[in-house]
Amino acid sequence: MAEKTNRLGLTPADYKGSKTTLCAGCGHNAISERILESMYELGIPPERVAKLSGIGCSSKTPAYFMSRAHSFNAVHGRMPSVATGALMANRTLIGLGISGDGDTASIGVGQFVHLVRRNLPLVYIIEDNGVYGLTKGQFSATADAGSTSKSGVVNQLPAIDTCLLAIQLGATFVGRSFSGDKKQLSAMLKAATVHRGTAVLDVISPCVTFNDHEGSTKSYSYMKDHEEPIHELSFIPSYENIAVDYDPGSTVSVKMHDGSRLQLRKLEDGYDPRNKIEAVTRIMTSHAQQEVLTGVLYVNTELPNFYDLLAIPDEPLATLPQERTRPPRKVLDEVMDSLA
Amino acid sequence: MSQSASTVINDMSLQVATVNGSGSQSANMVLLRTLFQMGIPVSGKNLFPSNIAGLPTWYTIRASKDGWIARKKEVDLLVAMNAETAREDVLSLRPGSAVVFDEPLQLGSVRSDLAFYPVPFDKVIQPVSSDAKLKKLLKNMAYVGVVAHLLGMEMGEVEAAIAKQFRKKAKAAELNVRAAMAGFDFAKASLEKKDPFQVRRMDANRGKIIIEGNAAGALGAMFGGVTVVTWYPITPSSSLVETLIGYMRRYRMGADGKSTYAIVQAEDELAAVGMVIGAGWAGARAMTSTAGPGISLMSEFAGLAYFAEIPAVIWDVQRVGPSTGLPTRTSQGDVLSTAFLSHGDTRQILLFPGTVEECFRFGAEAFDIAERFQTPVFVMSDLDLGMNYWMSEPFSYPEKPIARGKVLSKEDLQRLGGFERYRDVDGDGITYRTLPGTDHPAASYFTRGTGHNEKAQYSERPDDWVNNLDRLERKMETARRELPAPILDGTGAEVGIIAYGSSHHALVESRDQMLREKGLKTDYLRILAYPFSPEVRAFVDRHPRVYVVEQNRDGQLAALLKLDLPAELTTRLKSVAHIPGLPLDARSLTDEIVAREGR
């Protein structure tokens, strides 16, 4: 039987990356799979993709999909500026920015804010688990107020809603999904990839190791049941990916790895994502109802993107020939005359 | 004082003391240009406060028949327009100096050993305009007229200089000419010449231009083929990018109406350098321009670019630190920290332009060097060089084609079958790279600030780490031999002097003073780049005593040299480090070196 191929004649294997080194069951791995899948299905040549990331568990993931794409794992919280430079230099690249909640909403919030304002064509994925995984479980700025960390610290500060923030800053494509919702996330990634502006996708992605919210005692008891010491942070239980499949307009209650529950509400069919005020109202309403609203929350295809504003040509600036980047001798003569 | 007995021609420094924001800059430029047009070597230094309006500011213009263009320590003619500083300004003058002052300041009684010229500027300017706001500005041009008469400047050249200064505003030019004439006429009718200073037409400036180092650097970048420019406003570097924007809009628009460049004002210096690094990674000639505080902020990214090996050009127009320091004063205070900018075993390439011509040259060449070595290149200018006006020969068009370094194309990859990003194929420490978007399945690699092997794969193996760091060191050894070589002047003297950057101008004058006044012969090596050329060691080897002249407290370049030289040579180095917050002057250097030489 012939191998499955996309419109370019490439197989899913052409979109593969290295083996993941994240915890088994990590939501981030599911997101990597969805990215790989959507790029394959859209028939995007992997060589045309630039994967950009900051620092953290999420930012390691570009190594785990599309090895045939160039990748740049930069410094913590500063992926937006690196992406901006790279894509200005070569606008023909398809930019995939992978960040986390700490990388975006804490150390990187300044660059995130200004990236969104510029409307740089970039798919900006926040793999959002509310904790710092690599440094073992400290809160990030998207952690809910009142949630408890593994070490027992209660988060006293309000969460930053990155989608709400992005809409307020003028983002032109804002969506929220869940790492285990194959259908929704895959569709959202494809739409974001073809959008000609910054697409901010906040993807809730449970951390199997440090994800304790309310009800985290169940997590402790889970570990106790397995007779492992609860403060032994190197203990990584093996989990299955959490998968959900629910209809537009409905809600689903998701049981997290630690036993806590996440109430997802999917935007109904017919929701008009072009209305900014409505989008903000719906997100804030969902906060009041302690639900997480998923779907494409806001889209604006009318605004100029960063390339339009810079008035740069269609071909990459990076490889313009010398005839176009070094003015002729007579220009220098003219300038010298004006300075005499 | 008898005029004929002690006339001093084309050798004087003029200082205008005003209030920041009073509009005196145009008048000072007219004085500078008039002297330039009269063929007299001239230089101007703006000693300004970090302030929009209200604080004292001084502008010093030096005319020197011998061509000395460093700041002169002594002021010969003071124009005192600022009530707040007038008394102190007058008290600091040497006997025999001259003072033009606004009559209400009543300075004539402060000292008896100066030539005082009271001028009732309000009255002088009254017939020119009745508009109060305009009069405040025109007063400045009136002192131009007074000084022109006292020094013997040609009014035709004053008018030409005003026309150039206000070339887009004919009405303003006409008013300013009338104001200058009013000053001139007043001085002619009412002031008796009592000082020895005179200017007289020479022919030393034929074909020369006047430009600030920042503008020269901007031009260099444009002709160097820059395609991505990012910046965050900071004194004294802002004018570099602002000037560049003007030139690029004029000369780098494509026939299709599209820009052949992108210029972005970033949200801060971290983002500015992040964009440069992203763009350099993707293959653009990318640069940013900043000053000390910005350099400090860029330190993490600078280490990433060094370690991940990404070309970047970063201008540091140095001002006085530490911290916010003196934002509008000049220094060479970032040299040591920038040479090692970032944590871990980071080493950076530095270029030291000493003239506006070198600002132009390095403005372009820095890109060739950054792409050749795939690493950041810091162009270490300073406020004196960057923001003041300097005479220069016209700049030469870059003859060498733009060199993009070791970049593999799709065709190269087809031939080679693949490549390893960090493998030292040529033995010079410089490896091959591909640009994102290269249409070949083996083109991609993973760029990271974490430990990596030759294939750019994540690695924590000790051998991979050591191999990589050793190779990076080898790359810097290659750079040492290829970077712009130092410039030697003089051989056979027992005393050697090393300097760099804008210190050059005071030093060449000081060497002349030491020779003429004390018979002290010196050899001079001007350093243009770090890591240091092997010629630097050879120079120290030939001289029992080597003075290292620079503008900071700690002798930063001397310290860098000590790290580089064998132990037996380090004791030969003697630091001459000055940081008064003013451009370096020759007399201070002469006094110190002569004393230390026991002359």
B154 contact partners, CB below 8 Å, separation of at least 6: B34, B38, B148, B201
Mutate to test the interface with A, among B281, B408, B411, B440 (most CBs of A within 10 A): B281
Mutate to test the interface with A, among B267, B414, B421 (most CBs of A within 10 A): B267
Calculate how close chain A gets to B248, using CA atoms only, in Å: 10
Calculate how close chain A gets to B520, using CA atoms only, in Å: 37
Does A68 lie at the interface with B, CB-CB under 8 angstroms? yes
Phi, psi of A45 (to 5 degrees): -65, 125
Calculate how close chain A gets to B404, using CA atoms only, in Å: 10
List Cα–Cα distances, A11 to A37, A46, B245, in angstroms: 11, 11, 47
- B333 burial level (CB within 10 Å; 0-12, 13-18, 19+): buried
- B401 burial level (CB within 10 Å; 0-12, 13-18, 19+): exposed
Do A316 and B226 make contact, defined as CB atoms within 8 angstroms? Answer: no
- B414 burial level (CB within 10 Å; 0-12, 13-18, 19+): exposed
Calculate how close chain A gets to B458, using CA atoms only, in Å: 9
Q: Which chain B positions have a beta carbon within 8 Å of A319's beta carbon?
A: 283, 435
Calculate how close chain A gets to B177, using CA atoms only, in Å: 21
| Percentage with pLDDT > 90 across chain B | 95
Q: What is the DSSP string of B339-361?
A: HT-SSSS---EEE---SHHHHHH
Q: How far, in Å, CA of B88 to CA of B90, rounded?
A: 5
Partner residue opposite B276 with nearest CB, options A85, A114, A322: A85
Mutate to test the interface with B, among A55, A114, A134, A319 (most CBs of B within 10 A): A319
**Chain A residue closest in CA terms to B219:** A332
Calculate how close chain A gets to B344, using CA atoms only, in Å: 15
Mutate to test the interface with B, among A51, A76, A78 (most CBs of B within 10 A): A78
Name the H helices within A43-78.
57-60
Mutate to test the interface with A, among B275, B299, B361, B452 (most CBs of A within 10 A): B275
The residue with tokens 């030409």 is B160
Residue A155 has a pLDDT of 85
ipTM: 0.95
Ordered by where they begin, the domains of chain B are: 4-198 (3.40.920.10), 211-392 (3.40.50.970), 410-482 (no CATH), 487-596 (3.40.50.920)
Q: Which chain A positions have a beta carbon within 8 Å of B211's beta carbon?
A: 339
Does A133 lie at the interface with B, CB-CB under 8 angstroms? no
Q: Which two tokens stand for residue B452?
A: 């990596």
**Chain A residue closest in CA terms to B300:** A75
Q: pLDDT digit of tens for each residue in chain B (599 aa)?
A: 444 458 999 999 999 999 988 889 999 999 999 999 999 999 999 998 888 888 999 999 999 999 999 999 999 999 999 999 999 999 999 999 999 999 999 999 999 999 999 999 999 999 999 899 999 999 999 999 999 999 999 999 999 999 999 998 999 999 999 999 999 999 999 999 999 999 999 999 999 999 999 999 999 999 999 999 999 999 999 999 999 999 999 999 988 999 999 999 999 999 999 999 999 999 999 999 999 999 999 999 999 999 999 999 999 999 999 999 999 999 999 999 999 999 999 999 999 999 999 999 999 999 999 999 999 999 999 999 999 999 999 999 999 999 999 999 999 999 999 999 999 999 999 999 999 999 999 999 999 999 999 999 999 999 999 999 999 999 999 999 999 999 999 999 999 999 999 999 999 999 999 999 999 999 999 999 999 999 999 999 999 999 999 999 999 999 999 999 999 999 999 999 999 889 999 999 999 999 999 99
Residues 287-326 of A with CB under 8 A from B: 310-313, 316-320, 322, 324-326
Q: Which chain A positions have a beta carbon within 8 Å of B268's beta carbon?
A: 110
ω into residue B401 within 30 of 0, thus cis?
A: no
Calculate how close chain B gets to A27, using CA atoms only, in Å: 22
Name the H helices within B489-566.
503-518, 534-542, 556-564
| Pairing status of strand B312-320 against strand B326-330 | antiparallel
Element housing B487 (H / E): strand B487-489
Q: What is the DSSP string of B52-66?
A: SSSSEEEEEEEEETT
- CATH superfamily for domain A12-339: Thiamin diphosphate (ThDP)-binding fold, Pyr/PP domains (3.40.50.970)
Do B449 and A329 make contact, defined as CB atoms within 8 angstroms? Answer: no
| Pairing status of strand B228-231 against strand B286-290 | parallel
Partner residue opposite A311 with nearest CB, options B259, B440, B446: B259
**Chain A residue closest in CA terms to B391:** A340
Do A70 and B266 make contact, defined as CB atoms within 8 angstroms? Answer: no
Q: How far, in Å, CA of B4 to CA of B382, rounded?
A: 41
